[in-house]
Structure 1
Amino acid sequence: MLVLLFFIIAFHITSAALLFIATIDNAWWVGEDFFADVWRVCVNTTNCTEIGEHFADYSTLQAVQASMILSTILCCIAFFIFLLQLFRLKQGERFVLTAIIQLMACLCVMIGASIYTDRRQDVHSNNYHFYHLTSEGRYGYSFILAWVSFAFTLVSSLMYTILRKRK
């Protein structure tokens, strides 16, 4: 049981770390001489511009920012609630509250990554210059980590749903 508990804690911490990296790091959309995320655009690795109201689709990027931040916060809250429930729950009870909060984190990261994917597909299909750069580029590792963290938080919420407090 102790090994299972360690695995679940390590899995949750890994999920939170992936969410932090995906939210903070500047590699959602990368090209040969630029990289961009939901916070700023950097050209030639030295000229970085914060994304503001002067950028196209700023309100869409704000939705992605909000959902990624909310998913990270919810994942951390779920971990602390899990630790509290670990010591407070009676034997045989399930970690339902932790599972619900982790599922909400999962949905938030899915919403954020889906919105970004949808806007990127619109940009590519319409040949629209997103971030005032050409649409030539590819999804970066932060974007991929966002989808991986979606899967991790989903699996984690399912584990908490199934998990019962035992001796």
Structure 2
Amino acid sequence: MLFILLGVLVLHLIILILLIVSTAASTWSVGDTGSTDLWYNCKTASDGYHCKPASSDDWIQAVQALMILSVLFCFCSLIAFLYQLFRLVKGGRFFFTAIFQILASVFVMCGAIIYTVMRPDNHTEFGYAYVLAWVAFPLSLISGLIYIVLRKKE
């Protein structure tokens, strides 16, 4: 049982790291002249590398909010798991943790879908931060489902 709990904890930490990196990294779209992320649009010009804030469109603000919410819910889920690990009665399930983790999964999925549909330049390729967000989605969903099935044993 200790190995299962340790494995679930490591999976949760990996998901949290993936979400933080995908939210903060500067490569959601990559083109010939620069990169775009949730926060900045960076271009390479003859006089150097210049970054300006991301557009103030509603869709990019929605993606920003959803990605931040996914990080917060994943972190709250980790705290809830650690709390329930020591306070939950024997035989109890980690429902509270599972709800937070599944919500984090839904938020990251919605954010990535909105970015996919509304990205400003269709001539660019998706960057690694975008891919990390899509990798974090099924992992957090699986983690949430594991928390629903998992029971605390002595």
Q: TM-score range by the shorter chain?
A: over 0.9
Between the aligned partners of 2:122 and 2:114, the Cα distance in structure 1 is 17
Q: Is the 8 A contact 2:37 2:54 kept in 1?
A: no
Superposition deviation, residue 119 in structure 1: 0.9
- Indicate whether 1:7 and 2:10 are aligned: no
Alignment coverage as a number of residue pairs: 151
The gaps in structure 2 that reach 5 residues or longer are none
Match of 2:62 in 1: 63
For residue 118 of structure 1, report the CA deviation from its aligned partner: 1.1
1:91-142 Cα shifts (integer Å, max 9, x gaps): 101000000011111110011001001113xxxxxxxxx3xxx542100010
Q: TM-score, normalised by structure 1?
A: 0.87
2:28 corresponds to which letter in structure 1? Answer: W
**Cα deviation digits, residues 30-57 of structure 1 (max 9, x gap):** 012210011101112720001243xxxx
State the distance in 2 between where 1:162 and 1:135 align. Answer: 41
Instruction: Please tell me the residue identity of whatever aligns with 1:50.
Output: P
The answer for the alignment partner of 1:34 in structure 2 is 34
CA distance in 1: counterparts of 2:12 and 2:97, whole angstroms: 11
Shift of 1:158: 0.6
Alpha-carbon distance in 2 for matches of 1:30, 1:135:
11
Q: 2:141: which partner in 1?
A: 154
Paired letter, 2:150: L
Does residue 164 (structure 1) correspond to residue 133 (structure 2)? The answer is no
Q: Secondary structure at the match of 2:77?
A: helix
4+ residue runs over 4 A deviation? none
Give aligned-pair identity as a percent: 40
1:50-100 CA-to-partner distances (Å, cap 9, x unmatched) read: 1243xxxx1100000000000000000000000000000111010000000
Select which of 46, 49, 70 maps to 1:46.
Answer: 49
Q: Which residue of 2 aligns with 1:111?
A: 110
Whichever residue aligns with residue 93 of structure 1, its letter is G
Structure 1 alignment gaps of length 5 or more: 121-129
